[in-house]
Amino acid sequence: MPFTVETCTAQHIGDRAEQQDRVGLFAHPTRPDVLLAILADGMGGHSGGAMAAEQVVIKGRQNLDVFAPRHETAEQLLGSVLADAHTVIRLTRFTSEQDPHSTAAALLLQGDMVTWVHCGDSRVYHFRGLETVARTEDHSLVGELQRRGKIDEQQAQHHPQRNVLLSCLGSDREPRIEYGHARQLTAGNSFLLCSDGLWAYFDDDELARTVHEHSPRAAAEILIARARGRAGGSGDNISLAIVKLLPSRKNGLA
């Protein structure tokens, strides 16, 4: 690859009693240039949210292990992960007293290409240096109000219904699944996956700057510390994954 890949994941329970987010980074078993980052924010009582988010990450790892890049597209892989997780989570609703649901955000790096997918309000950001090239659109009531021009970003941050989702995995409705792509990537590009427990406290510029100026591990620690400081004792679970492309060294994945 024309670059080295540095990655990390990080979590914080916030001010909640239980960590219901899940996050993972997985390498393909035979293709060192194929990497999956996946994140889920679970919802549901009696640990149902944790179970739902766990299923998203489990399906990510399982489906990546049998992914055949020569015969399948990245969209097929990512779509199958979310579809399979949705099915399993729905089945759990009928076999237990839990009411599990989950968001999902994932990206697949293949050589110099990245494909991402999301459902709900967990986000994928694509940065090029200090520029925010792309950001997923939240499948939430507040996100829809923003798209219609009814409220702005500042109003969205304090809206009383900012946690109402319009789509997620495990619901009775078919989930809304959206994809994005970045091709011919070079060093200087980076990607951030995060739950709303993180992104709620930042604008795009601050996220881009922090990821650009620091190693993935240091950036994760800084972002979590700032989010915790801004949460005022009422912070949600935090999860994030960073995939950063740096000038090439001998090894590919760092």
pLDDT in tens, 99-150: 899 999 999 999 999 999 999 999 999 999 999 999 999 998 887 877 877 7
Half-sphere exposure of 92 (CA within 13 A, CB side): 26
Q: What is the mean pLDDT of residues 162-166?
A: 84
Mean pLDDT throughout 229-248? 97
Asked if residues 246 and 11 have their Cβ atoms less than 8 Å apart, the reply is no
Q: How confident is the model at residue 253 (pLDDT cuts 50, 70, 90)?
A: low
**Res. 221: pLDDT tops 60:** yes
If 0-12 CB within 10 Å is exposed, 13-18 middle and 19+ buried, where does residue 12 land? buried
DSSP 140: B
Of residues 78, 63, 59, 202, the one with CA closest to residue 135: 202
Strands of the 189-194 sheet, one edge to the other: 3-12, 238-247, 189-194, 123-128, 131-135
What residue ranges define each of the domains in the chain, with the CATH number in brackets?
3-247 (3.60.40.10)
Q: Which residue has the tokens 């990510």?
A: 60
pLDDT in tens, 188-198: 999 999 999 99
23: three-class secondary structure by DSSP: strand
Instruction: Output the pLDDT for position 160.
Output: 67
10 vs 138: CA distance, rounded Å? 21
What confidence score (pLDDT) does residue 97 get? Answer: 63
DSSP 159: -
pLDDT of 229 reads 98
User: How large is the angle between the packed helices 48-65 and 74-95, nearest 10 degrees?
Assistant: 140
DSSP string across 163-202: T-BS--BTSSSPPP-EEEEE-S--TTEEEEEE-HHHHTT-
**Cβ-based burial of 62 (10 A; exposed 0-12, middle 13-18, buried ≥19):** middle
Number of residues that make up the chain: 254
- Position 198 scores a pLDDT of 98
Q: What is the pLDDT confidence band of residue 204, given thresholds at 50, 70 and 90?
A: very high
- Predicted pLDDT of residue 150: 72
Q: Are residues 35 and 242 in contact, defined by beta-carbon separation less than 8 angstroms?
A: no
